[in-house]
Amino acid sequence: MAAPLPDVTLLGALPPLPSLVNARRLRAQRLGRGLRLWVPAGILILMLAMCFVLPLVASLPSPTKGDIIVNNEPPFSPGHWLGTDMQGVDIFSKLVYGGQVAFEIGAAVTAIGVAIGGTLGIVAGYFGGWVDAVISRVLDILIAFPALVLALVIAQGLGGSEIHVIWALSVFGIPAVGRVTRGATLTIRGLPFMVAAKLSGTRGWRIIARHVVPNIIPTIVTFSLLGVGIVIILEGALDFLGYGIPPPTASWGNMISNGQQILSAQPEYVLIPSIALLVTVASLNMLGDALRERWSTQ
């Protein structure tokens, strides 16, 4: 036997073998994966705590009524660390209570989407045939409905309120979740273990509850996180256009809309809620991606 040559590393990999990497790279990968999950999750936890816990434990100034004497205070003023607006309302309070509105609407619309759209999607995907045809057409019609125009109509007709915004945006949320759920269910339905379950004697609804739902939950959760982000942006857009949450109720969209009038003089009025919106939505997207990655490699 010839003396072994020094170990060498070959480059180039055509058809990949099962992922085989060296230890250091594996550790780095694992760390990167952990960070991709926990950084956005941590940011979201902080945002949620700021919006929902902080008002309970600290006495924040009112987000709607201000003292006109201390209006247009710059950030880092005493008592108003993000400053005040033209009416002298504390901007941090507006950010916190506006955040509540954003998260509430995002969560409510997604919950309605998952409850109604998810159920329709599973039923359509699992039973197929004419059931699928009917449900799919209904979802198609809903998704073709311009949500913003509908919201506009609702606001005109019924007056703007949080509940009305939720209904209007659900018209967009229900078919979106429904489509995704139907697709995931169709994929699952074709797998051998579903045939096995049926042949083992398990009946329709029990198969849905015990086989279909657990297997599509990862898809629904990741999609819902993305959905919350989209809904928050849409809500902001409605507010911005003046058809969402009516002022003086604080909302991020209203803040951006109002701040826009004095954008050149005091850009922070627009910047602060915009950054909050951006960070929230980006974190939701990143968390969704990280969860999907984690579940798909399991």
Q: 284, 283, 265, 281: which is closest to 273 by C-alpha?
A: 281
Structure tokens at 43: 């940011």
Smallest gap from Cβ 287 to another protein, in A, equals 22
257 in Cβ contact with 272 (< 8 Å): no
Smallest gap from Cβ 31 to another protein, in A, equals 13
8 binds another protein (CB under 8 A): yes
203 binds another protein (CB under 8 A): yes
- CA dihedral of residues 270, 272, 277, 279 (deg, nearest 10): 140
275 in Cβ contact with 92 (< 8 Å): no
297 binds another protein (CB under 8 A): no
Smallest gap from Cβ 89 to another protein, in A, equals 50
Tell which one of 46, 149, 163, 191 touches another protein (CB under 8 A). 191
Nearer to another protein, 81 or 295 (CB): 295
Smallest gap from Cβ 127 to another protein, in A, equals 14
How far is 81 from 84, CA to CA, in rounded Å?
A: 9
130 binds another protein (CB under 8 A): no
Cα 201 to Cα 79, 194, 198, 266, distances in angstroms: 68, 11, 5, 68
Nearer to another protein, 69 or 199 (CB): 199
Q: 232, 269, 237, 213: which is closest to 72 by C-alpha?
A: 269
Considering only the stretches 143-151, 209-217, 233-241, 275-283, report the one whose residues sit in contact with another protein under the rule CB under 8 A: 209-217
What's the DSSP call for residue 247?
T
Residue entry with tokens 């099962």: 18
Smallest gap from Cβ 197 to another protein, in A, equals 7
25 binds another protein (CB under 8 A): yes
The C-alpha R_g of the chain, in whole angstroms, comes to 25
2 binds another protein (CB under 8 A): yes
Q: 113, 69, 70, 63: which is closest to 90 by C-alpha?
A: 63
Smallest gap from Cβ 246 to another protein, in A, equals 46
Smallest gap from Cβ 244 to another protein, in A, equals 40
What's the DSSP call for residue 50?
I
Residues 255-284 that bind another protein (CB under 8 A): none
Nearer to another protein, 13 or 56 (CB): 13
- Which residues in this chain contact another protein in the complex, by CB under 8 A? 1-2, 4-17, 19-23, 25-27, 191-193, 195-203, 206, 210-211, 214-215, 298
